[in-house]
Amino acid sequence: MAADISKFTYFLGTALDRFISENQKQFTYASGELSQLLRDISLASKIINREISKAGLTGIAGSMGEDNIQGEHQKMLDVISEFRFIATLRRGRQTCGIISEEQAGIIDTGNHNAKYVVAIDPMDGSSNIDVNVSIGTIFSIYRRISPLGTPATEQDFLQVGANLVAAGYILYGPSNMLVFSTGFGVNGFTYDPTLGEYFLSHPNMKFASKGEIYSINEGSYHSFSPQLQYYLELCKKRKYSARYIGSLVADFHRNLLKGGIYIYPSTKSHPNGKLRLLYECNALAFIAEQAGGKATDGKKRILDIQPYELHQRTPFFVGSAEMVDEVMEILERKM
Ligand code: AHM
Ligand code: MG
């Protein structure tokens, strides 16, 4: 009789590389370039994961002592992650241009014959780096509009989110995860650092239609609209759990797995909220919709917003469909 080894081992799912090759038909233009681009993103994420895992020892957990182009405090890992992504995408040769949270203009990769542009927040939630709390990377991939053989233009990036070819995030948490969609549902891959590979661990991820978690920085309660304050009181009356890591990727990921809503609203001082449309909200809105959830700016679908500038901000309501619908209905009330 064959020995039963199931007690001593665990099942390893499909490796990312195999998943990509087996699902080539799910890549809108299926000529191999987008597959290679996703492989490049996964490679950069492994390098960044390696840097993060020893950040406290190598002295890269702190600040740069400078602000980025948006006037926000820059951490060393913000800069290192951006460097790694740009270098990997440049070498991968599938991207003609990149925009990033850390730089004002388009980064020309020199690969002018490439078909894709990437909008990326290389290190999101960077205020959590110093305290060893989960952080993430968010990426959006568009097919360029400008002609092949020329540098990427602003118009390549100023496309509605509905045009996304693929998007996803990497969560650097207790384990490292890559979650992405090419428009055929959402799949999550967990990194095995001993093998240096991502394996499919969360196939066909779905938002529950409603949940009992709300994620918002309630410290700013007094600068929210009366309608939003009313919704938050409702959440409390219903004894929903308040969960806010302050790392968008981690908050979004938890709500995706458990059901819930993440809100970064407009405030009196920041009428467009804080989060950026092109490299934060669009990608997560795409994932949310592919997982059966919803994402709006409080009035309209995020993926329908026509961008007019690269670093445009938007209020953001994302998560379980019924929760997003309910808050939208409340926001319309006269109070
Ligand atoms: P960042 O891209 O500069 O890190 O800012 C985005 C982060 C999100 O991850 C997080 O949800 C939010 O900012 C937290 O902001 P706040 O501290 O205002 O609640
Ligand atoms: Mg960010």
Question: pLDDT tens for residues 95-138?
Answer: 999 999 888 999 999 999 999 999 999 999 988 988 889 999 99
Range with lowest mean pLDDT among 26-30, 82-86, 141-145, 236-240: 26-30
Query: What's the whole-number mean pLDDT along residues 171-177?
Result: 96
Ligand 1, from 249, 275, 277: best to mutate by most atoms within 8 Å of Cβ? 275
- In this structure, is residue 5 part of a structural domain? no
- Report the mean per-residue pLDDT for the chain: 92
Ligand nearest to the CA of 249: 1
Query: What's the whole-number mean pLDDT along residues 272-276?
Result: 96
Specify the amino acid at residue 193: P
Judged against a pLDDT cut of 70, whether residue 67 lies above it is answered with: no
Ligand 2 ion: Cβ-proximal residues, 5 Å cutoff? 121, 124
CB atoms within 10 A of CB 195: 10
> Which structure tokens are listed for 146?
């400008």
Query: What's the whole-number mean pLDDT along residues 43-71?
Result: 77
Nearest CA to ligand 1 atom 17: 246
Does residue 81 share a domain with residue 27? yes
Structure confidence at residue 79 as a pLDDT band (50, 70, 90): confident
- In this structure, is residue 151 part of a structural domain? yes
Residue with tokens 């406290």: 56
Which of 164, 182, 202 is at the close of a domain?
Answer: 202
Number of domains in the chain: 2
Does residue 186 share a domain with residue 296? no
What does each C-alpha distance from 194 to 129, 176, 242, 246 come to in angstroms?
23, 12, 35, 29
Does residue 220 share a domain with residue 195? no
> 136, 139, 13, 154: which is closest to 78 by C-alpha?
136
> Which structure tokens are listed for 150?
């020329």
Query: What's the whole-number mean pLDDT along residues 304-316?
Result: 97
> Which structure tokens are listed for 217?
């920085």
State the pairing for strand pair 241-242/213-215. parallel
Distance 245 CA to ligand 2 centre (A): 13
Nearest CA to ligand 1 atom 11: 248
Range with lowest mean pLDDT among 19-28, 34-43, 119-128, 278-287: 19-28
Q: Of all helices (H) and strands (E), which one includes residue 165?
A: none
Judged against a pLDDT cut of 90, whether residue 7 lies above it is answered with: no
User: CA-CA-CA-CA torsion for 78, 80, 86, 90, nearest 10 degrees?
Assistant: -170
Nearest CA to ligand 1 atom 19: 217
Which of 168, 202, 236 is at the close of a domain?
Answer: 202
Q: In this predicted structure, what is the pLDDT of residue 13? A: 80
What percent of the chain is predicted at pLDDT more than 90? 76
Does residue 33 share a domain with residue 135? yes
Does residue 102 share a domain with residue 57? yes
Residue with tokens 């806010």: 244
**Structural domain for 25, as ranges:** 16-202
State the pairing for strand pair 176-181/187-192. antiparallel
Q: Which residue has the higher pLDDT, 19 or 159?
A: 159
Distance in angstroms (rounded) separating the CA atoms of residues 121 and 135: 11
Phi, psi for 56 (deg, rounded to 5):
-65, -25
Q: In this predicted structure, what is the pLDDT of residue 20? A: 87
Specify the amino acid at residue 283: A
CATH of the domain at 193: 3.30.540.10
Which of 202, 235, 256 is at the close of a domain?
Answer: 202
CATH of the domain at 232: 3.40.190.80
Query: What's the whole-number mean pLDDT along residues 217-224?
Result: 96
